[in-house]
Structure 1
Amino acid sequence: MVIAIARRAATAVVTLALSAFFVFFATQALPGDVAEQLLGRNATPEAVATLRERLGLDTNVWLRFVEWLGNAATGDFGVSLVSGNAVAPVVWTAFSHTLIIAVPAIVFGIGLSVLLGVYAGARRGRTADSAISVATLAAMSIPEFVVATVLVLVFAIALPIFPAVVLAGSEATFGELVPAAILPIVTLILAMSAYIVRATRTSVVDGLESEHAISATMKGVAPRRVLWRHVLPTAMLPVLPVIALNVAWLLGGVVVVESVFNYPGLGKLMIDSVSTRDLPVLQAIALLSALVYVSVNLLADLVAMLFDPRQRPSNTRPSKTRPGRAARRVPSPTSTTEVTE
């Protein structure tokens, strides 16, 4: 078990290192010159050369990558090309704002989705199952920005209950963000729940049709006990990757939802950094998103290994006896048994 966990952790570290490599060189391969874009078209060649030297753009790209990777490992992502402030505090502030809408969406969204999926799977073919299936298909077909726009029209304009957008920007306090986070949370729950409900329902249906569930029912076990005790523990294993992807999507910054509500989270910061070509901020956001995806998927693998013994490595060693021949028994020197020809 320890060896398996170490292997998964090593794979996660290698994946993160490869992500850092591709993130850095992808931003370096973007067309155009950063110094020329920052100074404008009327900048003199001397000013452009001076800025390139100050930003370190005139040095070898591999040396810049090694230096950037070493600084990133210590939490130093450099300085923003636009504001001149340190990148790390800006990114962590935006990430904390994203957590305000992501954590409630994860807690309520996953709990509600699993319950609806189990309820629909246990009542396969009935009215409740059909209604839940139609609702989830409709939710999967409607984009997030449409749901967000409808919620703004209904609950911010027609019925002015919640604020439509965040006006204070990144300087908004926690008290100002909480009322404005309600509509984004509802949008995220509707966007992520449909996939988890469908996966849970399918897995529960397959579990109820399995041999061990049928055998338990034939032995007189109550249907509710069969569902929650015999089916659900194994039925949740195929749902874990779906949950992990949705959690990583939420924590990595939901770009569309944050842009619609002007919410100062990680996704909104990424859009602003792309428009201003702020490469250090983009690199930090991309690396943080990769770290979130790797960590969440690693956690999902560990949970699956904990509840599914089949995914654990076997500790049994193969026998060294050659096939087809039995091992010869050698009598002990202290044995009193006489061996006769």
Structure 2
Amino acid sequence: MSTYKLRQGRTMKSPLVNLAVRRLAIALVTLLIVAFAIFFATQMLPGDVAEILLGQAATPEAVAGLRQAMHLDQPAFLRFIYWLGNLFTGDLGTSYVNNMPIAELIGGRLMNSLKLAGVTALISVPIALTLGITAAIMRGTFYDRLVSILTISVISVPEFMVATMAVIVFAVYLGWLPALSMANEVTSITGLLKAFAMPVITLSFVISAQMIRMTRAAVIETLDTPYIEMALLKGASRSRMVIRHALPNALGPIVNAVALSLSYLLGGVIIVETIFNYPGIAKLMLDAVATRDLPLIQACAMIFCLAYLLLITIADLVAIVSNPRLR
């Protein structure tokens, strides 16, 4: 009997393990493809890096010498293999412009971006999940229509417009908040709130609207399943039906909705950091594009792509584990 139970447990766990391992393998392959695309896309940027660094008055001999010193005279594929090998060892390279290790340049900026993303997620995720779940439960009511209208209105407005409206309302008209986010000059809690308020308001508006719509759709799909109708016919209260039956089975789609919305945060933070002059990694990457600092551009882009893949992979693994048929 014990041998039978052990075999049955192994049989039940094998689909979960196989799917999880397969998903991790897909994420690694995707990361390699993204690294290939990022490297060769940066090589297609117009302008010669050596000429940009030395200036227009540089002689051809000086330009050729700098290209050789920076290994730019080698074939692109060899430089890609060398760069990829350094990435796997944790070496992000050296900045062309600042002549500093990229890890030192990114360190503080990355922490600033993570703080901004963390505060935004801490505020937007509970609000979005609450509105999405309650709108699905009260489907067809005035509350549901109001939430849907507001989310569609916010989704229709791009990030730069939301940021511009926030500056006009809170900085120009009301005078409550500064138009620029001076995160490096924070010396008190009030200063901290002022530094994060405008970027967080802008990002929360954008990702909350996406999250509300996807959460509402996921819960409604679960509420329309036959086992939910069976629970109602057996006399289960509406609150018990939602908490005990609907939400656990909608966990996978809800986590996917949260992950997709937070991954959208990675793209929105580029616009927000630029508009509010926030000292994050996105602003650093845009400055690197202006100076053709290729190693810095590649490192920043890989960090964004790695964060995106990490969020999506975690969401997929949670969806796999929460699938009752696989359990």
Report the TM-score when normalising by structure 1: 0.85
1:121 corresponds to which letter in structure 2?
Answer: A
How many residues align? The count is 310
Higher RCO (C-alpha under 8 Å, 6+ residues apart): 2
Is 2:292 aligned against 1:277?
yes
Aligned to 1:54: 69
Shift of 1:135: 0.6
Is 2:249 aligned against 1:230?
no
Shift of 1:166: 3.1
Is 2:158 aligned against 1:123?
no
Shift of 1:259: 0.8
Contact in 2 for aligned 1:252/1:266 (Cα 8 Å): no
Aligned to 1:63: 78
Aligned to 1:21: 36
Q: Which runs of 5+ in 2 are unaligned?
A: 1-15
Shift of 1:225: 0.8
Shift of 1:51: 1.1
Q: Report the secondary structure of 2:253's partner residue.
A: coil
Q: Report matched runs for 1:151-300 at 5 Å.
A: 151-167=166-182, 172=185, 178-251=193-266, 254-300=269-315
Relative distance call for 1:177 and 1:59 in structure 2 (3 A) is farther
- For 1:75 and 1:286, how far apart are their aligned partners in 2? 15
Is 2:105 aligned against 1:105?
no
Q: What's the % identity of the aligned pairs? A: 43
Aligned to 2:3: none
**Residue in structure 2 matching 1:81, options 86, 96, 103:** 96
- For 1:253 and 1:200, how far apart are their aligned partners in 2? 20
Report the TM-score when normalising by structure 2: 0.88
Relative distance call for 1:305 and 1:149 in structure 2 (3 A) is same
- For 1:174 and 1:285, how far apart are their aligned partners in 2? 28
Moved more, 263-272 or 150-159: 150-159
Shift of 1:104: 1.6
Aligned to 2:56: 41
Q: Report the secondary structure of 1:254's partner residue.
A: helix
**Residue in structure 1 matching 2:159, options 135, 144, 148:** 144
- For 2:151 and 2:211, how far apart are their aligned partners in 1? 9
Q: Report the secondary structure of 2:252's partner residue.
A: coil
Aligned to 1:339: none
Contact in 2 for aligned 1:81/1:279 (Cα 8 Å): yes
- For 1:284 and 1:199, how far apart are their aligned partners in 2? 32
1:308 corresponds to which letter in structure 2?
Answer: N
Instruction: Report runs of 4+ in structure 1 exceeding 4 Å deviation.
Output: 171-178
Q: Which runs of 5+ in 1 are unaligned?
A: 313-341
- For 2:100 and 2:153, how far apart are their aligned partners in 1? 44
